[in-house]
Amino acid sequence: MKAKLLLLTLAFSLVLSACSSVNKGSSSDEKSNNGSAANTQSNSGGGTTKPSDEDLAYEKYKDPVTLTIGFKIPDDKLADGDTNDNNIASRYFESLTNIKVVHSWEAKGDDAFKQKVNLAIASNDLPDAMVVDRNQLRKLIDNDMLEDLTDVYDQYGSKLVKDIYASTKGMALQDATSDGKLYGLPNVAIEADAPSLLWVRQDWLDKLKLQAPKTIDDIEKIAQAFVDQDPDGNNKKDTLGLTGDKQVVYGQKPNPNGFDSIFGSYHAFPKNWIKDANGNVVYGSVTPENKEALAKLADWYKRGLIDQQFALYKETQEPIVANKTGLFFGPWWMPYWPLADSVTNDTKADWHAYAVPTDKDGKFVTHMAPVTDRYIVVRKGYEHPEAAVKMLNVFTRYERRQDPNTAEVKKLDDYAVATGVHIRNYYPFDLLLDYSDAVVKRYEAVQKALKGEVDPATFDPDTKQVYDFSVIEKENPKKNMDAWKPAIAYAQGGRILATEPMDKVYSVFYGTTRTMETKWATLEKLENETFLKIIVGDLPVSAFDDFTAQWKKLGGDQITAEVTDIVNKK
Amino acid sequence: MKIRKNAIHYNVMVLPGIIFLILFSIVPMFYAVMAFQNFKPGRGIWGSEWVGLENFSYLFMLPDSRLIFFNTVFLAVMKIIANLIIPLVFALLLNEVRQRFMRKTIQTIVYLPHFLSWVLLATIFFDVFSLDGMVNKLFGLFGVDPILFYASNKWFPGIIIATDVWKEFGFNAIVYLAALTGINPVLYEAADIDGASRFRQLWHVTLPGVRTTVVLLGTLALGNVMNANFDQIFNMYNPLVYQSSDIIDTYVYRVGLNDLQYSLATAVGLLKSVVSFILVVVSYFMASRFANYRIF
């Protein structure tokens, strides 16, 4: 009796599974049928030629497809009635693709976004697609939670996207590949993003009759003057010297207020894996050079040259936007944000960028950043992984000014100018693609055109736009902030990158090793807290030696050995 | 008899509570096994690799662990002491106010902060204690150099304790006020006739009257020693004062959710639960011994 029952269940389950496989087969047939039907329709004049990749890349879905994502809330103020998931940008992209983007969750600020992603990973409850960082990607691949995008990318990736990835010599895609499978679509960071420049209020410098900075000592002098001599002229001692961020250094791509360049001038490269003088792979945060940089910063903090409250700000750009400071470190694109806000609040503000401090040989030394640091990933089991690729195609084409729908694009541009809303903040994914030498090339081209050496009409759309904005800015300085942002970013940041000689130090390793998976977070925490405490004087500078010893003991030695192994195998 | 007849109703009424308890308190206990694994969410509890006590041994190697245990106990004990004494003193003082209207008004005002969230209060206190905030301005009048309260490991624990007491003392005083009204007025009359002064009355009648309440609240609070109030500290602290204010709960949150080290965080949390469990048993035993407090 029992055996019979068992047989019956078995037979039943067989039938069931057969059914489901039949279903699957027929549905995929249906899909391909649909596809060819659509193709013949679109090619009705041209007979039976196969559609090119480009058609697939931008082809609009016949039936609406839903794509759930996690979204980072920007600062912009949208028009009445518009929301983060229903605004001029989202409507436009939906009209192009027929992909309905739904926000599973939204988070404001980088920290909150990171935590939301971590929470999604921890609870195994991912949206269909989202943007993750390197550690999160590693975790997701390890946990087998991602859809393999190899074929989807091959088939649906647009020429523009593929070209940009190709400009990194395969490094970008390699970064998101594991065991030969592509698990994410990386961003492509332009090389220019890596160096951290010193941004100075030139109008304050001039007012106090100070020289442009070159060395550490110059910066010290300027900071002292900015604190003591009331550069903003309101008769109150309310200005700051150098500002900082509680992260101390960014190590890879900088943001406002990192001290990376100070460390660089002492030839210390915290958070980067480098080769020392003997050719050994070492972790940049534990080399003795760090101690000198920390000692200098601790001294500055003690003397009040560094903002006393820098570690307490929730948002690191606060003193910059409030025009309390005239001195901070940041990459070339600072004019886009936060400097535009600073100038809006005080139109006298005149920011200049410098490649300083130089080392004792007079050279500017900077670490470089990895080609990619963010990835679009797709949840394993999502029915339309190509939807994420199509979205990337569409907004990249728009971002790189190659969108052929000129009327619609003009509408978006006008809207952006009228409201001050950044369209790019409302792309479904915070992931930009650009050629890795784009900034320097564009700067040089624009300069030539401004001098009348080349005809701007020959420019690609991106460069043309920078040129146009530069002209507007030149004629009417600080009248149109949308023109000011790119014009100054290129005129200041771009100029430094194109003309100043730099010693570029590349990290030899960006990935994660086995021991890193379990111990790295702890080590990083120890490092961040030690550096911060030394600077604010909670720990003496000599505590750096204890830190290195402890770092090695808590897994650092083992990790260094693993990294050495990987680097040597390359 | 009557009660037994209606027992089914009572049981049904208890049911939602029990379901809630099982879902949110009993089931999660099972996940404590994560502490003994190298847990990977994609693989789940069953698929993750077992590592035995490795997480615990690593935990004890970390310099943080001693710090967070000390901070948790220190902050919690200081809060318990302050939250016993200050509301008691306040209740005694308020009890001496003879005007009913006055008494009610004061009571209402001081217990209002209890209803404000720490998210809100943290922002307010940040302004109050910042470099150009109220407190530093006040100190400035007396020629004191401005102090960075939020960045100082010397001052910050005091701020944590003081703000916690400020928020809760009005609310905590209610229990004492209730106990005070429970004291038989005849005792005061008798003391009065015997020629006892106001202070004598307080010493010989009032304080013995509320003694059991104080002991009871004190012993019950013992079970909470491992909870130093996540809400408050998470909203108020910053990296500069981790050293003096990082407690187990905030540490577990950061390590677990920010750094994705689920197993290590669970190990810390489990350790805390074990200690808490012991303390609850001890405090319950003491409560039944000294204050005759029993649940069963």
With 90 as the cut, is the pLDDT of residue A534 above it? Answer: yes
ipTM of the complex: 0.74
Residues of chain B contacting residue A309, judged by C-beta atoms under 8 Å apart:
130-131, 148, 151
Cβ–Cβ of A143/B41 closer than 8 Å?
Answer: yes
CA distances, A52 to each of A33, A40, A502, B295 (Å): 17, 13, 44, 77
Please indicate whether residue A498 or residue B287 has the higher confidence score (pLDDT).
A498
Helix, strand, or coil (residue A396): helix
Gyration radius of chain A's alpha carbons: 27
Q: What would the pLDDT profile of A235-246 be if each residue is shown by its tens digit? A: 888 899 999 998
Mean pLDDT computed over A186-215: 92
The C-alpha atoms of residue A262 and residue A293 are separated, in whole angstroms, by 7
Beta bridge mates, A328:
A199
Residue A468 CA from chain centroid, whole number: 26
CB pairs under 8 A between A and B: 90
Per-residue confidence (pLDDT) for residue A214, from 0 to 100: 94
- The predicted-structure confidence for B169-198, as pLDDT tens digits, reads as follows 998 898 898 888 888 889 989 998 998 888
Interface of A with B in 129-158 (CB under 8 A): 135-136, 139-140, 142-145
Task: Assess whether pLDDT exceeds 60 at residue A4.
Answer: no
pLDDT digits 0-9 by tens, A425-482: 899 998 989 888 889 999 999 999 999 999 998 888 889 989 999 999 999 999 888 8
User: Where residue B213 falls among pLDDT bands split at 50, 70, 90?
Assistant: confident
Q: Could you count the other beta carbons within 10 Å of the beta carbon of residue A235?
A: 7
Predicted pLDDT of residue B9: 83
Q: Looking at beta carbons, which residues of chain B come within 8 Å of A246?
A: 238-240
Q: Is A549 on the interface with B (CB under 8 A)?
A: no
Check whether A30 has a pLDDT greater than 50.
Answer: no
Report the C-alpha gap between B245 and B75 in whole angstroms: 8
For chain B, the average pLDDT equals 87
State the pLDDT at residue A44.
Answer: 37
- How open is the CA angle B87-B90-B91, to the nearest 5 degrees? 85
Percent of chain B having pLDDT more than 90?
28
Across chain A, mean pLDDT equals 86
Give tens-digit pLDDT for B1-23.
556 677 788 888 889 999 999 99
Within A451-513, residue ranges assigned H as helices are: 461-475, 481-488, 495-499
Q: What is the pLDDT of residue A53?
A: 58
Which residues of chain A have a CB within 8 Å of the CB of B235?
none
Among the partner-chain residues A525, A536, A554, the one whose CB lies closest to the CB of B259 is A525
Tell me which of A361 and A21 has the higher pLDDT. A361
| Residue B282 pLDDT grade (very low, low, confident, very high; cuts 50, 70, 90) | confident
Confidence class for position A42, pLDDT limits 50, 70, 90: very low
Write the CA distances from A252 to A193, A434, B59, integer angstroms.
9, 18, 29
Would the pLDDT of A29 be above 60? no
By mean pLDDT, which of A41-55, A145-159, A457-471 is the weakest? A41-55
- Determine which of A202-211, B92-101, B111-120 has the lowest per-residue pLDDT on average: B92-101
Q: Predicted confidence band at B284 (pLDDT cuts at 50, 70, 90)?
A: confident
* Confidence band for A43, pLDDT divided at 50, 70 and 90: very low
Q: Cα–Cα distance between A115 and B254 in angstroms, integer?
A: 10
Q: Is the pLDDT of residue A12 over 60?
A: no
**Which residue does chain B place closest to A140, by CA atoms?**
B42
More confident residue, B240 or B113: B113
Alpha helical stretches, state H, A400-480: 406-419, 438-450, 461-475
Is residue B214 predicted with pLDDT exceeding 80?
Answer: yes
Minimal Cα–Cα distance from A111 to chain B, Å?
9
Inform me whether the C-beta atom of residue A312 falls under 8 Å from chain B C-beta atoms. yes
For chain A, give the percent of residues with pLDDT over 70: 90
Q: Which residues of B touch A137 (CB under 8 A)?
A: none
pLDDT band at A285 (very low <50, low <70, confident <90, very high): very high
Mean pLDDT (whole number) for A145-168: 92
B261 and A521 in contact by Cβ < 8 A?
A: yes
Say yes or no to pLDDT of B292 above 80. Answer: no
Residue A564 pLDDT greater than 60, yes or no? yes
